[in-house]
Amino acid sequence: MPEKDPVETVCQWVSELAMTPVFGMQEPNALGIKDFSDLQLAVLRRALKGASSKESSHSESEIEETMQSLRKSLLLKAILESPTSAAAASTLS
């Protein structure tokens, strides 16, 4: 049985956490990100893969805004502040 891609595993976990409510807290979900979107998941996936793709239908400012929203999550902040993912995120547009 082949191993699952680690990036896809993390993205699956993040998707599940985005749908997990936190009872007794005001956070919208376990990520603390309101209305987690497909764009956020795509930007996260590319950042984790270290992808530098110039093929994007989103503007540089939209991608940077999305990265900022992801970095606000306590669960995602540590992995998105690494030099590798920061460099990859800046090349997404």
Per-residue pLDDT of the chain (93 residues; tens, 9 = 90+): 468 899 999 999 999 999 998 888 788 899 999 899 999 999 999 888 886 545 567 788 888 899 999 999 988 998 887 555 445 555 544
Q: What is the pLDDT of residue 1?
A: 44
d(CA 29, CA 27): 6
Q: Hey, is 91 helix, strand or coil?
A: coil
Alpha-carbon distance of 10 to 91, in angstroms, equals 21
Give domain status of residue 51, yes or no. yes
- Structural domain count of the chain: 1
Does any domain span residue 46? yes
Q: Which amino acid appears at position 78 of this protein?
A: A
Of the candidates 63, 66, 91, 67, the residue with the CA atom closest to the CA atom of residue 81: 67
Which residues are CB-contacts of 80 (< 8 A; sequence separation ≥ 6)? 44, 47, 67, 70, 71, 86, 89
20 found inside a domain: yes
1 part of a folded domain: no
Domain that holds residue 57: 6-90
